[in-house]
Copies of this chain bind each other. A is one copy, B any other.
Amino acid sequence: MPIDLDEVLKALSHPLRREMLEWLKEPEKHFVEQDHPFEIGVCAGKFDERCGLSQSTVSAHLATLQRAGLVTSRKVGQWNFFKRDERNIAEFLRRIGEEL
Within 21-76 of A, Cβ neighbours of B (below 8 Å) are at 21-22
Determine the distance from Cα of A22 to Cα of B93 in the docked complex, in whole angstroms: 17
- Taking a contact as CB atoms under 8 Å apart, the answer to whether A100 and B93 are in contact is yes
| Copies per complex of this chain | 2
Q: Contacts A6-B13, A12-B9, A15-B6 known; A96 to B93 CB distance under 8 Å?
A: yes
- Taking a contact as CB atoms under 8 Å apart, the answer to whether B99 and A18 are in contact is yes
- Taking a contact as CB atoms under 8 Å apart, the answer to whether A96 and B6 are in contact is no
- Taking a contact as CB atoms under 8 Å apart, the answer to whether B5 and A96 are in contact is no
Contact among B6, B13, B89 for A100, CB-based, below 8 A:
B89
A97 adjacent to chain B (CB < 8 Å) = yes
Determine the distance from Cα of A47 to Cα of B13 in the docked complex, in whole angstroms: 26
Q: Which residues on A are within 8 Å of B, measured CB to CB? A: 5-6, 9-10, 12-15, 18, 21-22, 89, 92-93, 96-97, 99-100
